[in-house]
């Protein structure tokens, strides 16, 4: 049974897509059968994997709005162990058309339930907003991975985001866990990067992944070649860091499997606000795999 992980942050340009694509490829390279869902009308995940615009290709839109079976939409991402549910700009329409539909927040969850057994991991790349597409992703997920750019005001940003996630636990998905906070575009030559990283770790503790993604030009170049960085330059720091992250995610999943079903959610009854959000984020216990979703890890 797949662990379903939404990669989300309302802030734009923080490395969501880069993380979705490269973590997915690194999981696949570690022989974990992985599905990546492009839930963003910008379709950056789709193009980063080398799929240029093609009006004839089915996308997530058909599944969400027209109820087409997801099996007919998932395609081979041309990488062993990796499948893709593509997006294109029509997905903008889904965000609008879903508004009047029944069960509008749960369309993605329903759509992918039939293929969950096929994968160890499902990663969902979210748009930089809290629209119905993101809500669908969060409703369908066991956990959220939050990429954070190491910059000024990062802590305020994460606190707001965790506050939002708390509200989502209260409403559409009580078992949503925090997979981890991921530091991206880290530059160890700048005091600011170091300071922000230290602050985030002292505030959010083991919620922060040990793996850190450095600012690395190979990561920025790889999408224009239509490939994840491990196929573009396996020896780059960027490739190394995402392989490291994949190891951490797999180890956390295995830990959860060892512990059996995760504990029932302790965060849902707590108040909102930064402190509550931060404590709720820490409530599941156990490193960056903490949180308290019902997921039983990779299957």
Binding footprint of ligand ATP on the chain (CB under 6 A): 12-18, 40, 42, 44, 128, 184-185, 213, 215-216, 219-220, 223
Give CA angle at 247 (266, 195), nearest 5°.
70
| Least distance (Å) between residue 127 CB and Mg ion | 7
Q: How many CB atoms lie within 10 A of CB 234?
A: 12
Segment lying near Mg ion (by CB under 5 A), choices 12-20, 46-54, 129-137, 185-193: 12-20
CA distances from 215 to 147, 157, 273 (A): 13, 20, 32
Q: What's 125's DSSP letter?
A: E
| 17 interacts with Mg ion by CB under 5 A | yes
Give the pairing type, strands 82-85 and 75-79. Answer: antiparallel
State the binding string over 75-94 for Mg ion (x if CB under 5 A, else -): --------------------
Q: Which span (11-19, 154-162, 178-186, 229-237) binds Mg ion, by CB under 5 A?
A: 11-19
Among 220, 265, 246, 283, smallest CA distance to 145 is for 246
Residue whose CB is less far from ligand ATP, 7 or 63 = 7
Count other Cβ atoms within 10 Å, centred on residue 250: 20
Binding test (CB under 5 A) with Mg ion, winner from 44, 159, 207, 216:
44
CB-nearer residue toward ligand ATP: 26 or 184: 184
CB of 278 to Mg ion, least distance (A): 26
Scanning 3-11, 42-50, 183-191, 262-270 for contacts with Mg ion by CB under 5 A, the matching segment is 42-50
Q: Which is nearer to ligand ATP, 21 or 283 (CB)?
A: 21
Shortest distance, position 257 Cβ to ligand ATP, whole Å: 30
Residue 274 has, within 13 A of its CA and on its CB side, a CA count of 8
Cβ–Cβ under 8 Å, residues 56 and 275? no
Min. distance of Cβ 60 from ligand ATP in angstroms? 15
Question: Which positions ≥6 away from 112 have C-beta within 8 Å?
Answer: 4, 37, 70, 122, 140
**Footprint on this chain of Mg ion (rule: CB under 5 A):** 16-17, 44
């Amino acid at each position: 049974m797949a662990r379903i992980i939404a990669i989300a942050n309302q802030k734009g340009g923080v490395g969501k897509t880069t993380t979705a694509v490269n973590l997915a490829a690194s999981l696949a390279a570690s022989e974990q059968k992985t599905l990546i869902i492009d839930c963003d009308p910008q379709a950056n995940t789709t193009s980063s994997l080398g799929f240029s615009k093609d009006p004839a290709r089915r996308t997530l839109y058909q599944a969400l709005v027209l109820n087409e079976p997801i099996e007919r939409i998932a395609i081979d991402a041309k990488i062993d162990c990796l499948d893709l549910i593509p997006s294109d700009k029509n997905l903008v329409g889904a965000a609008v058309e879903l508004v009047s539909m029944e069960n509008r927040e749960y369309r993605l969850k329903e759509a992918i339930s039939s293929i969950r057994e096929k994968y160890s991991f499902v990663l969902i790349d979210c748009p930089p907003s809290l629209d119905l597409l993101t809500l669908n992703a969060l409703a369908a997920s066991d956990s959220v991975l939050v990429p954070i750019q190491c910059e000024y005001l990062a802590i305020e940003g994460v606190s707001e985001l965790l506050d939002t996630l708390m509200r989502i636990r209260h409403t559409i998905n009580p078992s949503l866990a925090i997979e981890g906070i991921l530091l991206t575009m880290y530059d160890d030559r700048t005091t600011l990067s170091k300071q922000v990283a230290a602050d985030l770790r002292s505030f959010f503790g083991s919620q922060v992944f040990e793996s850190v993604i450095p600012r690395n030009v190979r990561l920025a170049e790889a999408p224009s070649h239509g490939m994840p960085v491990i196929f573009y330059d396996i020896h780059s720091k960027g490739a190394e860091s995402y392989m490291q992250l994949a190891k951490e995610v797999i180890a956390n999943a295995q830990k959860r499997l060892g512990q059996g079903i995760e504990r029932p959610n302790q965060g849902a009854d707590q108040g909102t606000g930064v402190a509550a959000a931060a404590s709720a984020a820490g409530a599941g216990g156990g490193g960056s795999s903490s949180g308290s979703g019902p997921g039983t890890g990779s299957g």
